[in-house]
Amino acid sequence: MAIACLLAVCAAAASAQESRQDISLSGTVLIEPFTASSTDVDVHSNPAYGALASYRFMMTPTAALEVNYGITYENTIDFYGPSFYKGIPVLTRTEEMSGAFVKSFVLKNWNPFVEAGPAGLIFLPIINSGTRTLDAHEQVEVGGLYGAGFAYEISPSFDIRAEYRGLVAKVPTFNNNNEDSFTTNRWFNISDPVVGVAYHF
């Protein structure tokens, strides 16, 4: 009987642990701000559209750990300087790998949350007719993630999530070796609104 009770408790614990996990898939938009610098290099860009996949493990009913992977299709980052005032565009694909601590608040079917943690961004230049320099190379920048949003429970297994995320990282130079012409010595805050669906299991 003791063994049977122990097995029942273990099975219940395992079931409860599984119910504290979820995965989500979201659409995302990276909005990189205009950046001016002390090196006379200005940076402009257009929005980048992509997808974000996330996994959460609930340590308690209101506290979770989250890991994320995101990728954008493409956008253009333009560099302007004294010697290239017409701008040098770099067509770019951006990857995100991040982790965060998530604090949730339960209000019936609404679950507001905030999060923060480290993030890594990989800027991948696409060498084609949209990129006017062959000296642009892949670059990895380490920074941070913060955000706030809400989840609306539509069933015990699914919810809809909407969030504003901010990604803080150094402005990329694409490891340009042409006399550091893309260097800004600046950090920027990338706005990243996301909307998606999460599945709990």
The pLDDT > 70 percentage for the chain reads 89
Look at 19-23, 73-77, 136-140 and tell me which has the smallest mean pLDDT.
19-23
Separation of alpha carbons 74 and 123, rounded Å = 10
* CA dist 100 → 82, 115, 149, 180 (Å): 40, 6, 14, 33
β-partners of residue 35 are 43
Bridge-partner residues for 156, per DSSP? Answer: none
| Domain 21-200 belongs in CATH node 2.40.160.20 | yes
Q: Is the pLDDT of residue 36 over 60?
A: yes
**Cα gap 42→16, rounded to integer Å:** 52
Give the residue, 71 or 133, on which the prediction is more confident: 71
Q: Tokens for 179, please give them.
A: 């006399």
- Predicted TM-score (pTM) of the model is 0.85
CB-CB contact of 101 with 119 (8 Å): no
At residue 159's C-alpha, the angle toward residues 156 and 164, to 5°, is 150
